Structure 1
Amino acid sequence: MTMGTGVVLFVIGAILAFAVKIQTSFISLSTAGAILMVAGAVVFVIGLALALRGRRTVTTARTTADPMSAQGVTERSTRTTDPNQL
């Protein structure tokens, strides 16, 4: 979702900077467009870095003796952490 937000910001900024030719007295639309394009590029790069980092997986294996059957019992637990929720 972060990369999509960056692309949307960049596109809106490009439209304001290059396609809209309205003059306003309180804001320069080309400057606002340039700011949005830079912000969109930064958000896209951050999203790309988070996506390439991947998920962290921790696997724990434990072997214990079962007193009833005299065999080892292996328990496995896996925890996956989504980097977007950190």
Structure 2
Amino acid sequence: MYIGSSIFLIALGAILAFALAPGLIPFLDQQMTGYSLMVVGVIGLIASLVMAAPRRRLRTTESRQATDPGTGEAVTHRETRDTGL
């Protein structure tokens, strides 16, 4: 579900719940249907925004090992790049 369809469901649910006269559609509980559509739209909107958020990753590009001249211990150098904002 995308952001546009979520907003459409919220608007349609608000119209059914608040704007139409009660009993206009005899075989349907308009208020409950409107509230349900608004809840589904809000959940879809939150899910769409979470899925569209930029990801932040740390990527290792190079790893090399050397010895420290002073102590003779092995030292590992890693260069990383932050690919997020």
TM bucket (normalised to shorter chain) is 0.5 to 0.7
Distance across 2 between alignment mates of 1:6 and 1:53: 20
Equivalent residue for 1:36? 37
Gap regions ≥5 residues in structure 1:
61-86
Shift in Å, 1:35:
0.3
The structure that is helix-richer by fraction is 1
Distance across 2 between alignment mates of 1:27 and 1:47: 29
Gap regions ≥5 residues in structure 2:
62-85
Distance across 2 between alignment mates of 1:12 and 1:49: 23
Distance across 1 between alignment mates of 2:11 and 2:54: 26
Larger Rg: 2
- List structure 1 runs of 4+ shifted beyond 6 angstroms: none
Q: Percent identity?
A: 35
Equivalent residue for 1:26? 27
Shift in Å, 1:3:
0.9
Distance across 2 between alignment mates of 1:22 and 1:48: 34
Shift in Å, 1:22:
3.9
Answer yes or no: is 1:46 the counterpart of 2:47. Answer: yes
Q: In the TM superposition, what whole-angstrom CA distance separates every residue of 1:17-36 from its partner, at most 9, and x where no partner exists? A: 00001404321111100000
Q: Give the partner amino acid of 1:31.
A: M
Shift in Å, 1:41:
0.2
Equivalent residue for 2:80? none
Cα RMSD between the aligned structures?
2.3
